[in-house]
Amino acid sequence: MSQKRALLVRAGALGDVLLLRASLHALRAGGWAVTLLVPARSGSVLLGPGEAEALIDWERADVAALLAAGPPPPALCALLAGFEAAVVYSRQVALAEALRAIVPRVVAHDPAPPADTHAAAWLWQGVRALGAPWVEMPEPLLFTGDEARAAGSLVERLPPRFLAVHPGSGSPAKNWPAPRFAALAAALAGGQPFLAIAGPADGAGTALLGAVPGAQVARELPPRVLGALLQRAGLYVGNDSGVTHLAAAAGARTLALFGPTDPAQWTPVGRAVRTVGAASGAMEDLTLEAVRDAVRRWDDEAATP
Residue pair 194/158 in contact (Cβ under 8 Å)? The answer is yes
Question: Are 199 and 98 in a shared domain?
Answer: no
**Region 168-175 average pLDDT:** 94
Residue pair 200/218 in contact (Cβ under 8 Å)? The answer is no
Identify whether 141 is part of a domain.
no
Question: Are 257 and 160 in a shared domain?
Answer: yes
Q: What is the pLDDT of residue 80?
A: 94
Among candidate residues 267, 199, 262, the one with its CA nearest the CA of residue 18: 267
Binning pLDDT at 50, 70 and 90, where does residue 305 land? confident
What CATH number does residue 80 fall under?
3.40.50.2000
Q: What is the pLDDT of residue 203?
A: 67
Whether the pLDDT of residue 78 is over 60: the answer is yes
Question: Are 95 and 164 in a shared domain?
Answer: no
Question: Are 181 and 299 in a shared domain?
Answer: yes
CA distance linking residue 237 with residue 235, whole number of Å: 7
- The DSSP secondary structure of 203-225, one letter per residue, reads HHHHHHHHTSTTEEEEES--HHH
Q: Which of 100, 128, 156 is the last residue of a domain?
A: 128
How far from 21 is each of 18, 162, 233, 271, CA to CA, in Å? 6, 26, 21, 14
Q: Which of 96, 128, 160 is the last residue of a domain?
A: 128
Q: Which residues contact 23 (CB under 8 A, 6 or more apart)?
A: 8, 87, 120, 123, 124, 126, 127, 132
Q: Which of 72, 93, 128 is the last residue of a domain?
A: 128
Q: What is the pLDDT of residue 20?
A: 97
Whether the pLDDT of residue 26 is over 60: the answer is yes
Q: What distance lies between CA 288 and its chain's CA centroid?
A: 25
Identify whether 81 is part of a domain.
yes
Largest CA distance in the chain: 65
Q: What is the pLDDT of residue 302?
A: 83
Question: Are 39 and 72 in a shared domain?
Answer: yes
Question: Are 174 and 293 in a shared domain?
Answer: yes
Rg of the chain's alpha carbons, rounded to an integer?
20
Q: What is the pLDDT of residue 70?
A: 72
Identify whether 206 is part of a domain.
yes
Instruction: Please tell me the pTM assigned to this model.
Output: 0.96
Identify whether 133 is part of a domain.
no
Domain count, the chain: 2
Question: Are 98 and 159 in a shared domain?
Answer: no
CA distance linking residue 56 with residue 39, whole number of Å: 8
Q: What is the pLDDT of residue 201?
A: 65
Question: Are 70 and 180 in a shared domain?
Answer: no
Answer with the residue of higher pLDDT: 68 or 195: 195
Terminal Cα distance for the chain, rounded: 51
Identify whether 138 is part of a domain.
no
Residue pair 256/274 in contact (Cβ under 8 Å)? The answer is yes
**Region 226-251 average pLDDT:** 97
| Range from 200-209, 246-255, 264-273 carrying the lowest mean pLDDT | 200-209
Which range marks the domain in which residue 260 is found? 146-303
Question: Are 91 and 206 in a shared domain?
Answer: no
Identify whether 136 is part of a domain.
no
Identify whether 181 is part of a domain.
yes
Question: Are 193 and 47 in a shared domain?
Answer: no
pLDDT in tens, 115-170: 999 999 999 999 999 999 998 889 999 998 899 889 888 989 999 999 999 999 98
Question: Are 67 and 201 in a shared domain?
Answer: no
Give me the chain's average pLDDT, please: 94
Identify whether 155 is part of a domain.
yes
Question: Are 124 and 151 in a shared domain?
Answer: no
85 by DSSP, 3-state: which?
strand
